[in-house]
Amino acid sequence: MLKCTINGKEVEVKEGTSIIEAFREHSEDIAHYCWHPGLSVAGVCRLCMVEIEGNPRLQIACNTPVTDGMVVTNQSEMVKDAVKWGLDFHLINHPLDCPICDQAGECGLQDQYMKFGQYDSEMGQAKVKKKKVVDLGEKIVLDTERCILCSRCVRFTEEVSKTNELGIFNRGDHSEIGTYAGKPLNNDYAVNTVDICPVGALTSKDFRFRQRVWFLKDKPSVCTGCSTGCSVDVYYNKEGMWRVKPRHSEVNGYWMCDEGREIYKSTNVMTTDFVGERGSAKAVKKENRLTQAIHINAGDKNYKTATESLNSLKEKLDSYSKAALVVTGQYTSEEYDALLGFWKSQFGTDNVYHWANNEAQFNDFDGLLIRGDKNPNTKGLLQALEKHGITAKKDVTSLSDQDLVVVAGPENQWVYDDIHVIAKALASNKKVIWMSACHVDAAEQAGGHFHFIPTKTFAEKSGTFVNFDGREQSFEAVDLFVDQALSLTEAVALLKGESVELSETNKVISVSNEFVHERGQL
Amino acid sequence: MEVKLLTEHYSDDNYRTLEGYKAKGGYEDLAKAFKMKPEDIISEVKASGLRGRGGAGFPTGVKWGFLPNNGETRYLLCNADEGEPCTFKDRMMMERAPHQLIEGMIISAFAVNSPKSYIYIRGEYVYATRVIEKALKEAYDAGLLGKNIMGSGFDHDMDVYVGAGAYICGEETGMISSLEGKKGQPKLKPPFPAVQGYLKKPTIVNNVETLAAVKYIIRDGAEAYKKHGTEKSTGTKLFSVAGDVNKPGNYEVPLGYPMIDLINNECGGMKNGKKLKAAIPGGTSAPILNAEEVERATLDYECLAEMGSMLGSGSIVIMDETRCMVDMLKVIAHFYHHESCGQCTPCREGTGWLHKLVSGVVNGTAQVSDIDLLCEVANKMKGRTICALSDAAALPVLGIVPKFRDEFQFFIEQGYSKVQGRANA
């Protein structure tokens, strides 16, 4: 450990810590743009200037390691002047289009100007004009005028995604970020560049112009896109969920994949016509969110509330002699425990099926975050099965002539390629209870007797996911977006005839959109 | 008076061939060096007080001493990317005496134990490149490069790399980036090139003139070399004189030589008998000296530093009384605006801002308060970036504007140049 003095505070830091890390560790404000904890040091924004005792020149905190006994400050007049001018240099050619900029509210320039700047600009000359709308790829749009050339995105494609699509072209104040010819920014992690962009230069096509960020609240959760289980922040307001951003953790570092960012779409109910790229296989209509229980008997639809539906089922439970349970890896460990426990006592352990979909690809890994197992909690399911002494069967399609089949269906149904096959096969059974957060067109069209019960998505319930290497990650509910939705635990409790505290289910967000003052971190 | 050490045989056209060079005692100093121990060569260079001739004036022997002893491959790079406006000494050295440079480089490489060196030549120097390439071939054919040079057991390979004409590639880490095939942008220091340079290996970067001078330190010994020049600025230096003098050109004089003598004697005095107004002593990035200061200035690192300017690369621009300083600064500001690599914000945005402010004076859109703003912006750009380009852009402003403020004020208020009058405005 090294002892040093930061802004008059005596602190201890680990060897090899840079000054900027020491400042942040001890919650001292320090201006910066180009430095990012997950990327290499570029040292180009020249904002993290500090004064080190015994050194007449200001040094940049990001590239200077702390030495023992170092006395360093960023409160001196010299530093304040350097930061003020550093900001002014950033801003002289930056268009002040904050009112129409998507980054406004979570913009590094705005935040740092309010913290360290607050001066009148002396720039009276015409600003440099550059291209305003540059299409970088399927997911990202660039505004070269807003760009402050911090090179974070370039370093990201170099060091993290290792795809090298981006570069800085030209020199001086006509420098621009751009993609190399014929190499659009379409890698699997591309939207991370939008997250790390400190200004509104890179914006996500999925999110831009949809919401003002100061009307969005955020809560931590865990990504359900695959078995990696990245830590995420879910951004939402009363109109639904709007985006998912990575939250720093040991599991995922600072990043998440673009596929994972789609998970919020299974929950959005109100505002988008389509979720996912229009016309692509992943597109899901907004009506696809299941909002109430539907019973389909020979083509007739019959709507009930989920509670009513389960209550009527409860009365007939004992009359089913042949029953089977089909589970997917998309629910929490707590839900599995409740469901399997109930099933064991009611129907025994023989007829439990694990619907795994693409099991051959479960061990695929792209080397960074994306795994072939597209379920967040396969490990948790296997643990629960073991706990209850159940050996699950795999061939779901062989199920026929059952009196009752209960399916805990997938929440992200677009990753289940075989959903049509399974739904068709199950239609030959006398009664199918399909629990799922989404409509399953395949099942609705399969004929037979399907009963759909809406379940909660990951954002609406709390619980635990066990990721690929056995790490248990608990998360809290973000909010409730569909008042009929039940978790499996609640559904089981209803079937058992227990009284369920459905307070959460009645609390669909209906408050007005509040102004959020603090938004994100640079 | 001129002291022709490096330039002794430059008038001989044959000197650029191996045959002609050997006739004048070429490669004898290399043979002498091979009989010495490498560390003795380094201490000899240290003792000679030789300072980098590219602009910064860092002691060469000390730089060589920074190399770590970690067994990694070391690279020697010759910086021939002579980009400072009005500097043309390296060009002449390469065109007139390529073998002098090659010999100096082999001696230096032997001293720092480097198996490979590159000569990074400015893209515009097409002829110099051809001459160097031809000389390299001659040297390889004669066994002066390659394996076991002159039976010494020392192996060395040398190659030419042609830049694409960016000023910033004359900065040593910018040059290394360019040599690595990347965009020519200076690298963050530390690590310094001596520790982690070309391909992340220990690297020494020296100017053409510095490397050539090593040959003469070995030939005459450090003591004899030190006899030229002053105590702290030893040896001779080539000065490229341009501007309003009768005989512009390259002149080799000992350091410490009075500037006014160089103008009046070697350069044949002011052109058309006009009066001297100002001079830039070390390339456009050096702050300007007015006539009175030129009278007092001696051409060495210390005197010019004391006067608030610098020796730089040794390119002297002489301006007579008809030169408009606003115009001059506009040209300089445009150059640095064009050449900033765009990496560090103060330089990227500042060089453009300076250029716009000075252009505003010429275009008639400026206010008098812009003169102070000009100085303030330049002040805030200074010393806050990775490399010295930001300083190089700021220093001429800080030199010219305070010394010739009246011209700027006049231009802004009257709308035309005080010196050149309405017609040229």
Q: State chain A's mean pLDDT as an integer.
A: 89
Which tops the pLDDT comparison, A300 or A92?
Answer: A92
Task: Determine the angle formed by the axes of helices B345-363 and B389-403, rounding to 10 degrees.
Answer: 30
Q: Which CATH number covers residue A360? A: 3.40.50.740
Q: Residues A10-46: pLDDT tens digits?
A: 999 999 999 999 999 999 999 999 999 999 999 999 9
Contact B254, B236 (CB under 8 A): yes
Kindly tell me if the per-residue pLDDT of A506 is higher than 50: no
Beta strands B203-207 and B75-80, pairing class: parallel
Classify residue A215 by its DSSP letter. G
- Of B320, B352, B377, the residue at which a domain comes to its end is B320
- Of B171, B194, B226, the residue at which a domain comes to its end is B226
> Would you call A172 and B346 a contact, using CB atoms and an 8 Å cutoff?
no
> Would you call A125 and B342 a contact, using CB atoms and an 8 Å cutoff?
no
pLDDT at A272: 46
Q: Which CATH number covers residue B353? A: 1.20.1440.230
Residue whose tokens read 């000023």: B167
Give the 3-state secondary structure of A98-131: HHHCCCCCCCHHHHHHHHHHCCCCCCCCCCCCCC
Nearest CA in chain A to B378: A85
pLDDT at A270: 45
Interface residue of A40, A112, A171 to substitute, partner B, most B CBs within 10 Å: A171
- Alpha carbon distance B173, B343 (integer Å): 13
Q: How confident is the model at residue A174 (pLDDT cuts 50, 70, 90)?
A: very high
- Does some domain include residue A511? no
- Alpha carbon distance A77, A58 (integer Å): 11
- Give the domain extent around B85: 13-226
Q: Which CATH number covers residue B273? A: 3.10.20.600
Is residue B51 domain-shared with residue B126, that is, in the same domain?
yes
- Give the domain extent around A34: 2-91
- Does some domain include residue B249? yes
> Would you call A81 and B380 a contact, using CB atoms and an 8 Å cutoff?
yes
pLDDT at A522: 67
Which tops the pLDDT comparison, A425 or A299?
Answer: A425
- Does some domain include residue B338? yes
Is residue A338 domain-shared with residue A207, that is, in the same domain?
no
Q: Which of B341, B380, B384 lies at the smallest CB-CB distance from A171?
A: B341
* Residue type at position B388: A
Kindly tell me if the per-residue pLDDT of A507 is higher than 70: no
Interface residue of B177, B334, B340, B348 to substitute, partner A, most A CBs within 10 Å: B348
CB atoms within 10 A of CB A324: 24
- Does some domain include residue B421? no
Collect all residues with Cβ–Cβ distance below 8 Å to A390 and sequence separation of at least 6.
Answer: A340, A344, A349, A352
Q: What is the pLDDT along chain B (425 residues), one digit of tens a residue?
A: 889 999 999 999 999 999 999 999 999 999 999 999 999 999 999 999 999 998 889 999 999 999 999 999 999 999 999 999 999 999 999 999 999 999 999 999 999 999 999 999 999 999 999 999 999 999 999 999 999 999 999 999 999 999 998 999 999 999 999 999 999 999 998 999 999 999 999 999 999 999 999 999 999 999 999 999 999 999 999 999 999 999 999 999 999 999 999 999 999 999 999 999 999 999 999 999 999 999 999 999 999 999 999 999 999 999 999 999 999 999 999 999 999 999 999 999 999 999 999 999 999 999 999 999 999 999 999 999 999 999 999 999 999 999 999 999 999 999 999 998 875 44
The model carries a pTM of 0.92
Q: Which of B340, B370, B384 lies at the smallest CB-CB distance from A172?
A: B340
CA contacts within 13 A on the Cβ side of B361: 32
Q: Which CATH number covers residue A36? A: 3.10.20.740
Is residue A353 domain-shared with residue A485, that is, in the same domain?
yes
Interface residue of A33, A85, A164, A176 to substitute, partner B, most B CBs within 10 Å: A85
pLDDT at A302: 82
Is residue A367 domain-shared with residue A406, that is, in the same domain?
yes
Is residue A165 domain-shared with residue A190, that is, in the same domain?
yes
Is residue A261 domain-shared with residue A347, that is, in the same domain?
no
Residues of chain A neighbouring B344 (CB-CB closer than 8 A) = 43-46
Q: Which of A58, A125, A126 lies at the smallest CB-CB distance from B384?
A: A58
Tell whether A149 lies on the interface with B, counting CB pairs under 8 A: yes
Is residue B353 domain-shared with residue B404, that is, in the same domain?
yes
Interface of B with A in 320-359 (CB under 8 A): 337-346, 348-353, 356-357
Interface contacts A/B by beta carbons within 8 Å:
89
Residue A15, class by beta-carbon neighbours within 10 Å (0-12 exposed, 13-18 middle, 19+ buried)? Answer: exposed
Kindly tell me if the per-residue pLDDT of A209 is higher than 70: yes
Is residue A301 domain-shared with residue A351, that is, in the same domain?
yes
Nearest CA in chain B to A84: B380
Which tops the pLDDT comparison, B286 or A312?
Answer: B286
Is residue A403 domain-shared with residue A433, that is, in the same domain?
yes
How far CA B207 is from CA of A504, B60, B82, B175, in Å, comes to 75, 10, 9, 12
Is residue B195 domain-shared with residue B94, that is, in the same domain?
yes
ipTM over 0.90: yes
Is residue B173 domain-shared with residue B242, that is, in the same domain?
no
Percent residues over pLDDT 70 in chain A:
92
Is residue B334 domain-shared with residue B306, that is, in the same domain?
no
Residues of chain A neighbouring B188 (CB-CB closer than 8 A) = 41-43, 63
- Does some domain include residue B8? no
Residue whose tokens read 């590239």: A63
> Would you call B341 and A148 a contact, using CB atoms and an 8 Å cutoff?
no
Beta strands A2-6 and A9-13, pairing class: antiparallel
Write out the two tokens for B346: 């103060």
- Of B263, B293, B320, the residue at which a domain comes to its end is B320
Tell whether B36 lies on the interface with A, counting CB pairs under 8 A: no
Residues of chain A neighbouring B356 (CB-CB closer than 8 A) = 125-126
> Would you call B349 and A125 a contact, using CB atoms and an 8 Å cutoff?
no
Q: Residues A402-445: pLDDT tens digits?
A: 999 999 999 888 888 888 889 989 988 999 999 988 888 788 77
Is residue B174 domain-shared with residue B190, that is, in the same domain?
yes
- Does some domain include residue A107? no
Q: Which CATH number covers residue A139? A: 3.30.70.20
- Alpha carbon distance B401, B325 (integer Å): 8
Is residue B84 domain-shared with residue B125, that is, in the same domain?
yes
| Mean pLDDT of all residues in A239-253 | 91
A419–chain B nearest CA distance, Å: 50
Tell whether A128 lies on the interface with B, counting CB pairs under 8 A: yes
Nearest CA in chain B to A91: B349
Is residue B88 domain-shared with residue B201, that is, in the same domain?
yes
Contact A140, A194 (CB under 8 A): yes
Residues of chain A neighbouring B389 (CB-CB closer than 8 A) = none
Q: Which of B346, B360, B370 lies at the smallest CB-CB distance from A89?
A: B346
> Would you call A172 and B357 a contact, using CB atoms and an 8 Å cutoff?
no
Q: Which CATH number covers residue B69? A: 3.40.50.11540
Domain count, chain A: 3
pLDDT at A498: 84
Tell whether A87 lies on the interface with B, counting CB pairs under 8 A: no
pLDDT at B424: 47
In sign, the C-alpha dihedral spanning B418, B420, B423, B425 is negative
The three-point CA angle B406-B412-B416 to 5° equals 90
Q: Residues A273-295: pLDDT tens digits?
A: 555 665 566 665 555 678 788 88
Contact A329, A356 (CB under 8 A): yes
- Of A243, A262, A281, the residue at which a domain comes to its end is A281
Is residue B264 domain-shared with residue B300, that is, in the same domain?
yes
Classify residue A243 by its DSSP letter. E
Residues of chain B neighbouring A42 (CB-CB closer than 8 A) = 188
Is residue A318 domain-shared with residue A414, that is, in the same domain?
yes
A4–chain B nearest CA distance, Å: 21
Classify residue A455 by its DSSP letter. B
Tell whether A513 lies on the interface with B, counting CB pairs under 8 A: no
Is residue B314 domain-shared with residue B338, that is, in the same domain?
no
- Does some domain include residue B1? no
- Does some domain include residue A148? yes
> Would you call B349 and A43 a contact, using CB atoms and an 8 Å cutoff?
no
pLDDT at A58: 94
Tell whether A77 lies on the interface with B, counting CB pairs under 8 A: no
Is residue B243 domain-shared with residue B131, that is, in the same domain?
no
Residues of chain A neighbouring B382 (CB-CB closer than 8 A) = none
Contact A443, A436 (CB under 8 A): no
Is residue A276 domain-shared with residue A210, that is, in the same domain?
yes
How far CA A285 is from CA of A13, A210, A434, B303, B346, in Å, comes to 52, 17, 19, 78, 49
- Does some domain include residue B126? yes
Tell whether A95 lies on the interface with B, counting CB pairs under 8 A: no
Residues of chain B neighbouring A89 (CB-CB closer than 8 A) = 345-346, 348-350, 353, 380
> Would you call A172 and B360 a contact, using CB atoms and an 8 Å cutoff?
no
B324–chain A nearest CA distance, Å: 23
| Mean pLDDT of all residues in A369-383 | 95
Is residue B315 domain-shared with residue B330, that is, in the same domain?
no
A52–chain B nearest CA distance, Å: 14
Q: Which of A47, A90, A122 lies at the smallest CB-CB distance from B373?
A: A122
- Alpha carbon distance B101, B84 (integer Å): 20
Q: Which of A81, A89, A167 lies at the smallest CB-CB distance from B345?
A: A89
- Does some domain include residue B62? yes
- Does some domain include residue A120? no
Q: Which of B346, B383, B386 lies at the smallest CB-CB distance from A57?
A: B383
Is residue A323 domain-shared with residue A275, that is, in the same domain?
no
Q: How confident is the model at residue A512 (pLDDT cuts 50, 70, 90)?
A: low
Is residue A181 domain-shared with residue A321, that is, in the same domain?
no
For A473-486, b/e burial (b = at least 16 CB within 10 A) is: bebebbbbbbbbbb
Write out the two tokens for B78: 């010759």
Tell whether B403 lies on the interface with A, counting CB pairs under 8 A: no
Q: Which of B243, B274, B401 is nearest to B326 (CA)?
A: B401
> Would you call B348 and A172 a contact, using CB atoms and an 8 Å cutoff?
yes
Q: Can you name the residues that pair with A141 across neighbouring β-strands?
A: A135, A203
Q: Can you name the residues that pair with A365 across neighbouring β-strands?
A: A371
Write out the two tokens for B6: 């490096």
Residue A461, class by beta-carbon neighbours within 10 Å (0-12 exposed, 13-18 middle, 19+ buried)? Answer: buried
Is residue A74 domain-shared with residue A178, that is, in the same domain?
no
Domain count, chain B: 3
> Would you call B344 and A46 a contact, using CB atoms and an 8 Å cutoff?
yes
